Amino acid sequence: MKEYVGHESQLYGVEEHKLCGGKGDGIRLFEVNNGRGLMFTISADRCGDISRLYFNGKNMGYFAPCGYVSPKYYDDKGAGFLKSFTAGFLTTCGLTAVGDPCTDNGEDLPLHGTIGNTPAENVNCFTDDKGIHVKLYIRDASLFGHQLILEREYVCPLDSDEIIINDKVKNISDRETPYMILYHFNMGYPLLSEKSVLTIKNNGVTPRNADAEKGIKDALIVEKPTSGFVEQCFYYDMVEGKAEIYNPDIKTSLSINYNKNELPFFTEWKMMGKGEYVLGLEPGNCTPDGRDVMRKNNTLAFLKPGEEASQQIVIRLKNE
């Protein structure tokens, strides 16, 4: 093969770019291409999350109306998070708060925490016999507050259509701290349409609220875009750490694979509105009900001083 190409980037690799103009100005983007039709963009200044995901030229994720928004515009008041919620294919929520804004143990907590609006440091990219690697460090720490480090590595094999996410969160302080993390994976058109088939093997489903209870019979049904649709969330008791969506129109399936011992909760976020047409498939160590609720229910996780928690998630894409 070497005699056919001048540089390996003709076939595969990772390139760094920066956005120019608008609210996304200056955001560092790392574009990964495995040379087989899988391409995705890592937004380094937004927790190293995945903003874009394409497979064989087709879009897989959802991009919110706000588009790219730099962390400098982040608003932590009330629902201000939504002003900069790009969504993309992945938004990480946490690391000490997920879900509804609340006050817990005397601390005011914003919607979905702050980690998704935190820039990464020490970004490192390389390719070896295991594939393309992108490593990032995201620091969620303050004086007199919690002090956590998220060490994230993406591995994209050159011989398969997978994205492997290896995350490790470490408490670098000398005191115990709440630990919440939720992987907000967002399916979008054309992967998502009324033709899509959603598979979530489960032992039971719990609606989050009255609106979800009305739609629980159709929790696994994807409707067409609908005016006035009210978002619904469903909590699954998973049989295995896997959720899959398949669209026969584009003959493509995407599955999210994880260890349910590491991430014991799974949320489906269903939003079938016109222009706000997105399906969230969200493994985590919590629900999006807020930290105060998790504490009350005795389901809130903690990290002791020096303790680490690791998670691996594998995204698999297939043409059928």
Separation between Cα atoms, residue 115 and residue 140, nearest integer Å: 7
According to DSSP, the β-strands at 38-43 and 28-33 are antiparallel
Percent of the chain with pLDDT strictly greater than 70: 100
Looking at the chain, the number of H-run helices and the number of E-run strands are: 2, 24
Separation between Cα atoms, residue 155 and residue 41, nearest integer Å: 13
Q: What is the pLDDT of residue 183?
A: 98
9 inside domain: no
Domain that holds residue 85: 17-319
Torsion, Cα of 284, 287, 291, 293 (10° steps):
-150
Domain count, the chain: 1
Q: What is the pLDDT of residue 318?
A: 98
Paired tokens of 310 = 């690791």
3 inside domain: no
Mean pLDDT value across residues 114-129: 96
Q: What is the pLDDT of residue 295?
A: 98
Q: What is the pLDDT of residue 132?
A: 98
Residue 1 has pLDDT above 80, yes or no: no
Q: Identify the three-state secondary structure at position 79.
A: coil
CATH number at residue 306: 2.70.98.10
Residue 78 has pLDDT above 90, yes or no: no
Helices (H), the chain: 210-214, 291-296
Residue 2 has pLDDT above 90, yes or no: no
Side-chain-side CA neighbours of residue 303 (13 Å): 25
Mean pLDDT of the chain: 97
H/E stretch holding 40 reads strand 38-43
198 inside domain: yes
6 inside domain: no
Instruction: For residue 318, give every residue at least 6 positions away whose Cβ sits within 8 Å of its Cβ, in sequence order, or none.
Output: 161, 252, 253
Residue 147 one-letter amino acid? Q
| Residues forming a β-bridge with 127 | 132
Q: What is the pLDDT of residue 8?
A: 92
Separation between Cα atoms, residue 202 and residue 234, nearest integer Å: 12
72 inside domain: yes
Contact 294, 287 (CB under 8 A): yes
Residue 26 one-letter amino acid? G
Q: What is the pLDDT of residue 186?
A: 98
Residue 148 has pLDDT above 90, yes or no: yes
Mean pLDDT value across residues 167-175: 98
Nearest to 291 by CA among 47, 108, 114: 108
Q: For residue 95, say if its preceding peptide bond is cis, omega within 30 degrees of 0.
A: yes
Mean pLDDT value across residues 120-128: 96
Percent of the chain with pLDDT strictly greater than 90: 98
137 pLDDT tier (thresholds 50, 70, 90): very high
Q: Identify the three-state secondary structure at position 315.
A: strand
Q: Identify the three-state secondary structure at position 117.
A: helix
255 inside domain: yes
145 pLDDT tier (thresholds 50, 70, 90): very high
Per residue in 177-226, pLDDT (tens digit) is 999 999 999 999 999 999 999 999 999 999 999 999 999 999 999 999 99
42 inside domain: yes
126 inside domain: yes
Q: What is the pLDDT of residue 135?
A: 98
DSSP 218-243: GTTB-PPPBTTPPPEEEEEEESSSEE
Nearest to 123 by CA among 28, 39, 54: 28
Q: What is the pLDDT of residue 20?
A: 98
H/E stretch holding 121 reads strand 121-128
Mean pLDDT value across residues 32-40: 98
Instruction: For residue 304, give every residue at least 6 positions away whose Cβ sits within 8 Å of its Cβ, in sequence order, or none.
Output: 171, 176
Paired tokens of 244 = 């899959």
Per residue in 242-271, pLDDT (tens digit) is 999 999 999 999 999 999 999 999 999 999
Residue 294 has pLDDT above 90, yes or no: yes
Mean pLDDT value across residues 278-304: 98
* pTM of the model as a whole: 0.98
Mean pLDDT value across residues 28-32: 98
